[in-house]
Amino acid sequence: MTIKYESCIEACQTCLVECQHCLSEMAGKSSMNDCPKCCVQCIDACYICIKMMACDSAFVKQYALLCAEICDYCADHCEAHDHEHCKACAASCRKCAEECRKIAA
């Protein structure tokens, strides 16, 4: 793991796990917004961002910025729900977005 990305990779990993949990909890439930669809996108974004940081890609800043935007989108939708798993998902998305923006800066 590249040390300079360590906190961002950890935030992406946590976000990925929380989004996966939220997605599994929302399976079969109706939603008034794009949750759980946003979780699917956030899982993929975090996974790709982790891969780009792990290999110190020349495009890591662009991926980190996109990941931050997707995480904020997911957090916006999950925060609208009262479920504990959605609240945990939203919080991890916000933290991930914050860490990704540090990398993108």
2-17: per-residue pLDDT in tens? Answer: 688 999 999 999 999 9
Report the sign of the C-alpha dihedral through residues 48, 49, 53, 58, in that order: positive
CATH at residue 99: 1.20.1270.360
Task: Read off the pLDDT of residues 41-82 as tens digits, 9 standing for 90 and up.
Answer: 999 999 999 999 999 999 999 999 999 999 999 999 999 988
Residue pair 85/56 in contact (Cβ under 8 Å)? The answer is no
Domain that holds residue 20: 3-104
Residue pair 22/88 in contact (Cβ under 8 Å)? The answer is yes
Q: How far apart are CA 50 and CA 67, in angstroms?
A: 10
Q: How far apart are CA 90 and CA 4, in angstroms?
A: 25
Q: Residue 97 pLDDT more than 70?
A: yes
**Model-wide pTM > 0.85:** yes
Q: How far apart are CA 93 and CA 58, in angstroms?
A: 24
Structural domain tally of the chain? 1
